[in-house]
Amino acid sequence: MIVAEIKPFEEIKNMLEGYKKILILGCGTCTTICHSSGRKQVELLASDLRMARKIESNEINVGEQMILRQCDPEFIDRVKGEAEKYDVILSMACGAGVQALAERLGGIPVLPALNTVFIGVTEETGVWSERCLACGECILWRTGGICPVTRCAKGLTSGPCGGSQSGLCEVSKDTPCVWQLIYARLRKLNQLHFLKESYQPKTKPVHPRKLVREDLRSKKEQTKG
């Protein structure tokens, strides 16, 4: 999932300076799972903004709304009518959701309430860790399901550097060397032969990228017909 955290309140308040009618829009998927969005977070942020403006004797109208995914036009279109009643949208989604809203809503400013941090997993309640860089050339099949591109401080894809000691990364002694983890996993899976094979260095993707599934597009056209 995409992991994000809410921006400092003062930054949010400064972004909204001059706006009188604000719609806070929560996203019900990734950012809700990492407790940065969701109905509770939307309500709390709305309450804080109302209180801050009240203290300043600065009139404000704050609306609250949730949609399942802000990165999907289908869900954005459902709130278009409501969004047009406001001066600005404060999005509690990842950066992709903010941009999708801005493109779809056209003339309404869309501001980010969150900082997008990484693609990761939940380790335990309140703890998330990065696991994927979305590099577009997945090699997990030969590294035991452990990504060296993301989890190696140097992004090494052909084995450990000379600096790792006692299974720990030389960059951070609190972090295990990912290649030690990969070795242990491959040994357990009886797949150590992958470490003996040579591979071409990974290429850096050219941005921005796009993925097109013609099979899905053709099905959509058939449905319309």
Residue 129 domain-assigned? no
Same domain, 164 and 68: no
Residue 65 domain-assigned? yes
C-alpha to C-alpha distance for 68 and 120, rounded to whole angstroms: 20
Residue 125 domain-assigned? no
Q: How would you label 71-100 residue by residue, b for 16+ Cβ within 10 Å and e otherwise?
A: beeebbeebeeebeebebbbbbbbeebbbb
Residue 131 domain-assigned? no
Q: Is 180 left (phi over 0), alpha (psi -120 to 50) or beta?
A: alpha
Are 155 and 149 in contact, with CB atoms under 8 Å apart? yes
Same domain, 84 and 165: no
pLDDT at 122 over 60: yes
Nearest to 14 by CA among 80, 58, 63: 58
Number of domains in the chain: 2
pLDDT 10s digits, 63-119: 999 999 999 999 999 999 999 999 999 999 999 999 999 999 988 999 999 999 999
pLDDT at 174 over 90: no
pLDDT 10s digits, 32-70: 999 999 999 999 999 999 999 999 999 899 999 999 999
Question: Following DSSP, what letter does each residue of 68-79 receive, concatenated?
Answer: S-TT-HHHHGGG
Q: Which residues pair with 8 in a beta bridge?
A: none
Find the CATH number of the domain harbouring 109: 3.40.50.2300
Residue 130 domain-assigned? no
Same domain, 61 and 161: no
Residue 173 domain-assigned? yes
Share of the chain above pLDDT 70, in %: 96
Q: Hunting for tokens 């993925």 — which residue is that? A: 211
Q: Which residues span the domain enclosing 164?
A: 136-225
pTM: 0.87
Same domain, 72 and 168: no
Domain-terminating residue out of 118, 144, 174: 118
Residue 171 domain-assigned? yes
